[in-house]
Structure 1
Amino acid sequence: MRGWSAPEVPQLPVTGPVVQVHDTSSRTLRPTNPDGAARMYVCGITPYDATHMGHAATYVGFDLLNRAWRNAGHEVLYTQNVTDVDDPLLERADKVGIDWVELAERETELFRTDMEALRVLPPTHFVGAVESIPLVVELIQRLQSRNAVYDVDGDLYYDVYADPAFGRVSRLDRDTMLTLFAERGGDPDRPGKRDRLDCVLWRAERPGEPAWESPFGPGRPGWHVECAAIALQHLGVPFDIQGGGADLVFPHHEMCAGEVQVATGQHPFAHTYAHAGMVGYDGHKMSKSRGNLVFVNALRLSEIDPMAIRLSLLRHHYRDDWEWTDAQLFDAVDTLTQWRRALALGAGAPALPVVEQALAALADDLDAPTAVASVQAWVEATLGTNGLADTSDPDAAVLIRSLLDAALGLSL
């Protein structure tokens, strides 16, 4: 599966510090210490609807990590999946009377254009679930060789307690796990399972559903094993960061980790598990089921500057839960007008300290709000002096533009 076009990113004259990221598993801030290229997996979309602000906040958040690593001098290997066959996609296609393949391709293309507009750096590997079915089959076979797979009426299940480390990613008690498992695509009450938390690896063919041939009979992959197989193939284990929204901590990231750890005998799956907060609207988390969505594409079609959308997201720490409002977006539009006015002066307040402050903030758990505030302080100082004070830097605008682009992904 193809990704999207990569923007040209300027090189900064300052090397960023070691990047630290909050680890969900240990509940601590952990320095990233890449051995060679920095390796990151961020779970992608199920393409049955357009990109909303919750999606955008997650991918912009991990784009900051990609950029912080690059500014610290690392090559980055970034893998992202597309779950282009799954129950929600099939249900939506049936509801609207469209072929599920056509729906997946249309919404994936829309996602690409949204990410390109927001200047999110594309992944090194952008991989669909369908094209990864051979990888899934191979991983299931490896799990079978470890006696971690069993059959329930033709469906294959993963025995979560085959991994002694089960639960160490999410650190949740069993009752909470069961609640979340039921809410997030699991089937805790299915008869015949060994444990209520066991998850499906291979779903046997049902009438009217797509299916692929396999050694287990015709069927299709479960959700968790898809990401597990793609990450294992393209990044190896352990890799540096497993990322996604906070709603993926359990069961998705817990299950992915367990499946690979059991199959390979290697621990951990990822050194650090990083998760973005949830974005709300009208008092609730944005969700397709509730319908309280703000779509990136709709804002772009209404001629909103994509950089204003991105700035609105950057003003919130990636791990925070927050609520989207139109007022925030319009304030970002006004802010960009002010910033462009300051940059148009050419000269301005000293810029190198701003670069150092912003890079330090982003290396400290991707603290974009502090980085944005440092730029705002420069803008106000520059406009206050018209760039003509004794401390004026004649090349300030060039350096600040480069900082905005290289570190924050804002092209002004």
Structure 2
Amino acid sequence: MLKIYNTLTRKKEEFHPVHPGVVNMYVCGPTVYNYIHIGNARSAIAFDTVRRYLEYIGYQVNYVSNFTDVDDKMIKAAHDQGITVPELADKYIKAFMEDTNAINIEPATMHPRATENIPEIIDFVQKLIDKGYAYVVDGDVYYRARKFKNYGQLSGQSIDDLEVGASEHVSADEVGKKEDPMDFALWKAAKPGEISWDSPWGAGRPGWHIECSVMSTKYLDNTIDIHAGGQDLEFPHHENEIAQSEAATGKKFVNYWMHNGFVTIGKDNEKMSKSLHNFITVHDIIKHVDPQVLRFFMATTQYRRPIQYSEANLTDAKNNLEHIQNAYNNLEYRKNDAHDGSEIHVQSKLSDFKEHFIEAMNDDINVQNGIAVVYELVKYANVYAKQASVNQDDIADIQKLLQELLSIFGVKIVATGQIDDDAIQQLIDQRNEARRNKDFALSDKIRDDLKAQGIILEDTPQGTRYRKE
């Protein structure tokens, strides 16, 4: 039985979706005013991995992830670049899709934009006004946080304690307008020259929090199974979403809240963020790091734990991924002399690996224990490949299971470095002949020449094979 750590209750709970066999999942997406950094990518990778596992164990997943395509940062960035806010949004949404595709993140079932849902946002805000949860001041609309009795439950604090944190998100001109410092904006009156939409309260635009309440309930349901995002969103963003949504619908908003840990950098393990100017964009890193390595590095740390970004850790991930790839290639090479059929003990062993993997992942998507099972499978694959006699079906099934489990981490693995290049094969044949003639100088030269071209030779009991670095 799958168990998920629910931020709301601070404990692991058995997962039971509202509709059997179907998971409605909402993940907060980026504000599209710049390229995503790997801290943003961590959330996208973590919950893409969760989604893949849910699908692997048989669920249909309706996965919605939004784009915040209008806010203060976007207005400033568009002004600085001399383009409109929609042009800025289009530019960075395109970049987001390219970067996330490179690290093999499946497109969401739907990627709605805030600006595509303005009528629904206005209706939602009006409903909160009509119920007495919101009020209008000079074209702005604010939510009465203290009116919602469970405010602070997600972040585990009292509303008085939360005032300090809330003050960080309040601009000076808002202070005099609010009935209470804890109140937050649902709708912001437009300043001269800003992008805006007409509303019953005057020209303006949505506040940040309201869009996710509107889009999750519109595209999924009033009560959704999973709502996810970075742990920095617990307060105020997700806290405010709960208050808005449950006040409007009268129903529980989310059954399971999931939050991923930060990506840290440097000797002090500082959180990576744009505000600290210590971020590395995915757009830049994949110019010199294999996107598969970046994906593998980030997908194999359990989503609630922090990730320490460093060149050394990336190198470890690269080496581990190569180790897996080599095991796959070892099996591929043995197809040349494999017999037809399979053996019961091999099939039984593969069933055990799969069972242990599911057991690990059912414990709050524990990818670290899950990848440990994959490494055991890799050891088994290497031992099997060295046997004097192997079977075609067993090889295919071991390879299939490797691909199957790695796909949950978003990693694709296929055969590489097979001896099918005539020129390389001729050199290998020449080297083998030199070794038989005890001409070790020539043998070493051929090996070194191939190595200089990125071809690594491996002498096995079944013959010489090669792989490309």
Settle same-fold status: TM greater than 0.5. Answer: yes
Sort the Cα spacing of 1:193 and 1:401 in 2 relative to 1 into closer, same or farther, 3 A. same
- Output the amino acid matched with 1:270: V
1:318 counterpart SS class: coil
Instruction: Write out aligned runs for 1:99-138 (5 A).
Output: 99-138=84-123
* Corresponding residue of 2:208: 223
* Corresponding residue of 2:278: 292
1:64, 1:362 within 8 Å by CA — same for their partners in 2? no
Q: Does 1:39 align with 2:41?
A: no
CA distance in 2, matches of 1:151, 1:89: 24
2:232 counterpart SS class: helix
TM-score after normalising by structure 2: 0.79
1:301 counterpart SS class: coil
Tell me by how many angstroms 1:184 deviates: 4.3
* Corresponding residue of 2:370: 371
* Corresponding residue of 2:258: 274
* Corresponding residue of 2:379: 380
Q: Does 1:260 align with 2:239?
A: no
- Output the amino acid matched with 1:306: P
* Corresponding residue of 1:183: 168
Q: Does 1:29 align with 2:28?
A: no
Instruction: Write out aligned runs for 1:129-208 (5 A).
Output: 129-184=114-169, 190-208=175-193
Tell me by how many angstroms 1:277 deviates: 0.6
Sort the Cα spacing of 1:329 and 1:363 in 2 relative to 1 into closer, same or farther, 3 A. same
Q: What are the Cα deviations for residues 139-184 of structure 1, in whole angstroms up to 9, with x where unaligned?
A: 0111112011112222110111232222222212335422322334
Sort the Cα spacing of 1:188 and 1:217 in 2 relative to 1 into closer, same or farther, 3 A. closer
- Output the amino acid matched with 1:161: R
**What percent identity do the matched residue pairs reach?**
32
1:240 counterpart SS class: strand
1:344, 1:397 within 8 Å by CA — same for their partners in 2? no
Larger Rg, first or second structure (1 or 2): 2
**5+ residue gaps, structure 1:** 1-17
CA distance in 2, matches of 1:189, 1:138: 23
2:223, 2:254 within 8 Å by CA — same for their partners in 1? yes
1:68, 1:359 within 8 Å by CA — same for their partners in 2? no
CA RMSD in angstroms comes to 2.1
1:192 counterpart SS class: coil
Q: Does 1:83 align with 2:68?
A: yes
1:51, 1:111 within 8 Å by CA — same for their partners in 2? yes
Q: Which has the higher helix share?
A: 2
Q: What are the Cα deviations for residues 279-327 of structure 1, in whole angstroms up to 9, with x where unaligned?
A: 112232111122111221212222x221110111023211112321111
CA distance in 2, matches of 1:131, 1:329: 39
2:384, 2:390 within 8 Å by CA — same for their partners in 1? no
**5+ residue gaps, structure 2:** 335-345, 414-469
* Corresponding residue of 2:351: 352
2:231, 2:261 within 8 Å by CA — same for their partners in 1? yes
* Corresponding residue of 2:447: none
- Output the amino acid matched with 1:259: Q
CA distance in 2, matches of 1:298, 1:172: 39
CA distance in 2, matches of 1:80, 1:154: 29
- Output the amino acid matched with 2:6: D
Give the number of equivalent residue pairs. 392
CA distance in 2, matches of 1:117, 1:176: 42
Higher relative contact order (CA 8 A, sep 6+): 1
